[in-house]
């Protein structure tokens, strides 16, 4: 997708701070972190949201979630705990329509929905 910022990050056209990379998955730091640890984990291929990814490629969905766990460990929050969020659609506040899982941690995160 030529107009997608996360496709551009995958292509290297927009810089990012990578946390880990596999053949099909990329994890990089969020540019505007909402917690001390805030990593975004994405499939390199473009899907609009988590439901579309899961419908199209369940194995890749598993790879992305596994990479989220590895990113949490790499960031040092595996022991203290972390949150995995995939915003989907208008009520969630999804801004970027290339599926991404937020890995949040590094402090007590409080209630899930405010």
The residues that are catalytic are 100
Rounded CA gap, 81 and 36, in Å? Answer: 12
Least distance (Å) between residue 107 CB and Zn ion = 30
Cβ pair 64, 21 in contact under 8 A: no
* Under rule CB under 5 A, residue 11 binds Zn ion: no
Contact segment (CB under 6 A) with ligand 5GP among 27-35, 57-65, 72-80, 104-112 equals: 27-35
Binding status of residue 96 toward Zn ion by CB under 5 A? no
- Contact flags string 45-84 toward ligand 5GP, x per CB under 6 A: ----------------------------------------
């Amino acid at each position: 997708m030529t107009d997608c910022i996360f496709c551009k990050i995958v292509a290297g056209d927009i810089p990012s701070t990578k946390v880990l990379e596999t053949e099909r998955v990329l994890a990089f730091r969020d540019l505007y972190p909402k917690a001390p640890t805030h990593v975004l984990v994405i499939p390199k291929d473009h899907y609009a949201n988590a439901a579309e990814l899961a419908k199209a490629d369940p194995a890749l969905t598993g790879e992305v979630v596994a990479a989220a766990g590895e990113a949490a460990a790499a960031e040092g929050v595996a022991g203290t705990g972390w949150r995995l969020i995939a915003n989907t659609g208008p009520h969630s506040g999804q801004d970027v329509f290339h599926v991404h899982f937020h890995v949040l941690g590094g402090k007590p995160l409080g209630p899930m929905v405010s």
